[in-house]
Amino acid sequence: MHIAVLSGKGGTGKTTVSTNLAAVMNCRYVDCDVEEPNGFIFLRPYDVHTKDVSVSVPVIDKDKCKGCQKCVDICQFNALVYTRKGLVLFEKLCHACGACMLVCPGGAIAETERSIGKIDIGKTGSIECVRGVLDVGEPMSGPIIRELKKNVDSSLTLWDCSPGSSCNVVKSMSDCDFALLVTEPTKFGLHDLRIAVELTRKLSIPFAVVINRSDQYSGMIYEYCSKENIKILGEIPFDRSAAVAYSKGELLYDKPPFKDIFLHIAGRLKEEVLCS
Amino acid sequence: MRICVSSVGKEKTSPLDARFGRCQYFMVYDTDTKEYKAVPNKGLLSSGGAGIAAAQTVINEKADAVITGNLGPNAMELLRASDITTYHASTGTVNEVVKQYMDNGLPLIDKAVPAHFGMGHRNARG
């Protein structure tokens, strides 16, 4: 059973919700916000082992290249250019599709591996903690997320997605059985929640909402969700003690009043997932 | 000599497009025949690497010089590697900037602007 935690807007509390729920539900946690994974700060896994993630990139044999530009034309990402000094590759634009190699009539293009990041796997008690880390300056998260997917089995897993509704989020959510949309009672939170709802519906994944930093403005989220027939599984109050714990890299689930709140959300989430 | 101008349209009276990678056309002026030719920019519709595709268009047209507003880092590198000199103009029609270049010369572009400079937004994710 796989549950994606996403939000649309950044900073609504995806990591707060998913790390605390993983602790309460005693299940696997996967941080797929590979550009800046921070779930490990809170879960503090030990015995972490690392696997390198590489993509294949073309290598050009300039002596064999006759300058036909078939590779340039086939490349959908403009990663290859034929200049007056020969073929030039822009490694970071290459999506490793291998089309250039297939179309080259002279066999001038071969393949090599290039490391773009890693995945870490560790444990906190009986909770397995996994994260993907994309190297700084690398533009493509896809291969790291793909590698994360390969390294988990079908047992209960929370996928802490990246913000937004980009390819990275879509890739993280695909194959998930349920989605938990974390929002906050602000205009921006609501605006981006609508986008997250639209995306989740498009992917036909059943979902529900959690309101983080809930305050006197939470009514607008309730109003929207009731109109759209979306269930709200719970609210985490806007409380200074949550911010203090967060700033120290501490989880909330073992502190009152958050303990009961996360237990409640976890219970309702399990019901929803089973009924979906 | 062949001079390539980034242009909004395909006439010699079309205005200069200050963006290199995302211009509509390149107007290629041949100083021997004194004729203009319009070439669609391959970079215009590409989802990424527009400057690179535009540079390929210009290289394939055997240009010796480019007149445009701004150049990104990738396009700059490619044009340099192909010994194409780059000149800056900010306004005017294609034939006006070519005339300026022929009469008095134009300032050289020696520094690239950041990637995605002309896209109207920064830090695009996706």
Q: How far is CA A61 from the centre of its chain?
A: 37
Please say whether the beta carbons of B87 and B67 come within 8 A. Answer: yes
Pick among B59, B85, B125 to test the A interface (most A CBs inside 10 A)? B125
Contacts with A77 from chain B: Cβ below 8 Å: 47-49
pLDDT tens by residue, B78-97: 999 999 999 999 999 999 99
Contacts with A79 from chain B: Cβ below 8 Å: 49, 52
Q: Chain B: residue nearest A79 by CA?
A: B49
Please tell me the distance from the alpha carbon of residue A181 to that of residue A207, in angstroms, as a whole number: 7
Task: State the pLDDT confidence band at A225, using cuts at 50, 70 and 90.
Answer: very high
Q: Chain A: residue nearest B58 by CA?
A: A83
Q: Chain A: residue nearest B44 by CA?
A: A78
Q: How far is CA A84 from the centre of its chain?
A: 42
Residue A127 has pLDDT above 50, yes or no: yes
pLDDT tens by residue, A209-219: 999 999 999 99
Please give, one letter per residue, the 3-state secondary structure of chain B.
CEEEEEECCCCCCCEECCECCCCCEEEEEECCCCEEEEEECCCCCCCCCHHHHHHHHHHHCCCCEEEECECCHHHHHHHHHCCCEEEECCCCEHHHHHHHHHHHCCCECCCCCCCCHHHCCCCCCC
* DSSP reduced 3-state for A109: strand
% of chain A surpassing 70 pLDDT = 100
Distance from CA of B44 to the nearest CA of A (A): 12
* DSSP reduced 3-state for A151: coil
Report the pLDDT value the prediction gives residue A84, as an integer from 0 to 100: 87
Please say whether the beta carbons of A147 and A159 come within 8 A. Answer: no
Quick check: A88 and B78 CB within 8 A? yes
Tell me the pLDDT of chain A averaged across its residues. 95
CA dihedral A103→A58→B79→B17, nearest 10 degrees, is 70
Q: Looking at the DSSP assignment, which residues form a beta bridge with residue A173? A: none
Task: State the pLDDT confidence band at A5, using cuts at 50, 70 and 90.
Answer: very high
Quick check: A90 and B52 CB within 8 A? yes
pLDDT tens by residue, A228-271: 999 999 999 999 999 999 999 999 999 989 999 999 999 999 99
Helix axis angle, A219-227 relative to A187-202, nearest 10°?
A: 30
B83 touches chain A (CB under 8 A): yes
Task: State the pLDDT confidence band at B120, using cuts at 50, 70 and 90.
Answer: low
Report the pLDDT value the prediction gives residue A26, as an integer from 0 to 100: 96
As a whole number, mean pLDDT of residues A165-187 equals: 95
Exposed, middle or buried by CB within 10 Å (0-12, 13-18, 19+), for A58?
buried
Q: How many residues in total does chain B contain?
A: 126
Indicate the helix (H) or strand (E) that contains A271: helix A258-275
Structure-token pair, residue A195: 């986008």
Tell me the pLDDT of chain B averaged across its residues. 89
Task: State the pLDDT confidence band at A92, using cuts at 50, 70 and 90.
Answer: confident
B102 touches chain A (CB under 8 A): no
Report the pLDDT value the prediction gives residue B126, as an integer from 0 to 100: 39
pLDDT tens by residue, B31-84: 999 999 999 998 888 888 899 999 999 999 999 999 999 898 999 999 999 999
pTM summary value: 0.78
Residue A276 has pLDDT above 90, yes or no: no
Nearest to A84 among B48, B82, B125 (CB): B82
